[in-house]
Amino acid sequence: MRLFRKKPSPDHPFWKWFRENSSELHRTQDYETIVRQFGTHAQNVLVEMLTGDGVRKSTLVITPDGQFQALTEAYQWYESAPNVADWDFVLFRQRLPRGSGLTFNAVEFDPWDCKVLITGKSKWRHMPVVTYAIDVYLPIPTQSSAFLNAAGVLALDHALGEELHMFRLAKATFYSAQNLNPNVMSMQEFVDFLEEHPGHGIWNEPRFRR
């Protein structure tokens, strides 16, 4: 793990480079260059790009990649992001609309087609937040445990949104839907359930919204 070269701020070299090249990056959708440049400055935080179409704005997602220890750094990068034409910046991987689809290692599936079984719940030690343990059944053929775990985390990030995933799930175990438990609920029903039983998340404050 390397130390920050410089604390994220509006005058950070990465943001200076981004401002100078933002129009060209939007036009070319050069995600690889953005990731390479960002990676020389960030410690634990990742950036991901939601592709624009040359007309609408492109979106740069600043994500702690599910790591609680990276939350402060992620927020610093988000808060210091410049206001530039053609680009929006968001903190956390965002919920995708139904039908968007994901591709993981050449396997395509819709995270909204996952099924969920709640297997337990607990509370955070120092905050009134209820978290849940769940089994998740992915709409893909049987795969290795490593594959199901990686694809499942990606599915939860994009069905729940990364913030909800991090703060409201204590544990998730992943299975292929070929081994479906008959008592499951749909992903939409699970999202509705979480939103009907809100938790007081650390980041549920206006200052963490852009």
Mean pLDDT of 19-46: 90
Local confidence band at 130 (pLDDT 50, 70, 90 cut-offs) = confident
- The pairing of strands 130-138 and 169-176 is parallel
Looking at per-residue pLDDT, the higher value among 209 and 68 belongs to: 68
CA-based nearest residue to 91, from 119, 116, 118, 70: 70
Which pLDDT score is estimated for 51?
62
Residue 136 has pLDDT above 50, yes or no: yes
Which pLDDT score is estimated for 141?
87
| Half-sphere exposure in the Cβ direction for 107 (13 Å, CA) | 17
Which pLDDT score is estimated for 171?
92
Contact 198, 167 (CB under 8 A): no
| Alpha-carbon span 109 to 98, nearest angstrom | 11
Residue 54 has pLDDT above 80, yes or no: no
Which pLDDT score is estimated for 1?
38
Contact 156, 169 (CB under 8 A): yes
| Alpha-carbon span 14 to 6, nearest angstrom | 10
SS3 130: strand
Which pLDDT score is estimated for 126?
63
Residue type, 28: T
Local confidence band at 55 (pLDDT 50, 70, 90 cut-offs) = low
Residue 17 has pLDDT above 90, yes or no: yes
Looking at per-residue pLDDT, the higher value among 209 and 66 belongs to: 66
pLDDT in tens, 85-122: 889 999 999 888 888 888 888 889 999 999 999 999 88
Average pLDDT, the chain: 85
Burial 77-103 (b: 16+ CB within 10 A, else e): bbbbbeebebbbbbbbbbbbeeeeebe
Which pLDDT score is estimated for 6?
60
pLDDT-above-70 percentage for the chain:
86
Which pLDDT score is estimated for 148?
94
CA-based nearest residue to 98, from 62, 139, 142: 139
Which pLDDT score is estimated for 22?
92
